[in-house]
């Protein structure tokens, strides 16, 4: 159904490389069987931390209609150490939209070559 909607809306083109959640290989296969270049995001020991660290150093422009990622960013919290200092480790939370942002920038913070997928609009985050 999502592929069908994409065919109508032309959001993702077959020439585009798309990274998807590696925890859902059946969806990746469905997209690749339909002719799209979809690869599994690399998940490892520090992949979430590395992705957040990279995105934190960038100015994000997020479209006002992207309410999922806006909500996630507003509720984002970092763990504190035993002295009450904020660490760079994110408290686990529902982060589907932000995970997608990490996936599409993975090639940048893992030193892979490739095009940058920009997240657009403005909610005043710097």
What is the total residue count of the chain? 126
Q: What are the tens digits of pLDDT across the range 5-47?
A: 878 887 777 778 888 888 889 988 998 999 888 888 887 777 7
109: tokens are 């913070």
pTM of the model: 0.61
User: Is 70:62 a contact under the CB 8 Å cutoff?
Assistant: yes
pLDDT in tens, 58-109: 888 888 888 888 888 888 888 899 999 988 888 877 778 878 888 878 877 7
- What ranges do the domains of the chain cover? 2-40, 47-109
């Amino acid at each position: 159904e999502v592929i069908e909607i994409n065919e109508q809306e032309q959001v993702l083109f077959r020439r585009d490389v798309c990274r998807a959640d590696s925890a859902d290989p059946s969806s990746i296969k469905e997209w690749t069987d339909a002719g799209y270049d979809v690869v599994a995001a690399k998940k490892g020991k520090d992949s979430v931390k590395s992705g957040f660290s990279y995105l934190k150093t960038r100015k994000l422009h997020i479209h006002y209609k992207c309410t999922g990622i806006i909500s996630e960013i507003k509720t984002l919290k970092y763990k504190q150490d035993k002295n009450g200092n904020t660490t760079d480790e994110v408290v686990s939370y529902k982060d589907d939209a932000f995970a997608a942002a990490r996936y599409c920038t993975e090639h940048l913070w893992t030193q892979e070559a490739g095009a940058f997928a920009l997240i657009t609009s403005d909610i005043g985050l710097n």
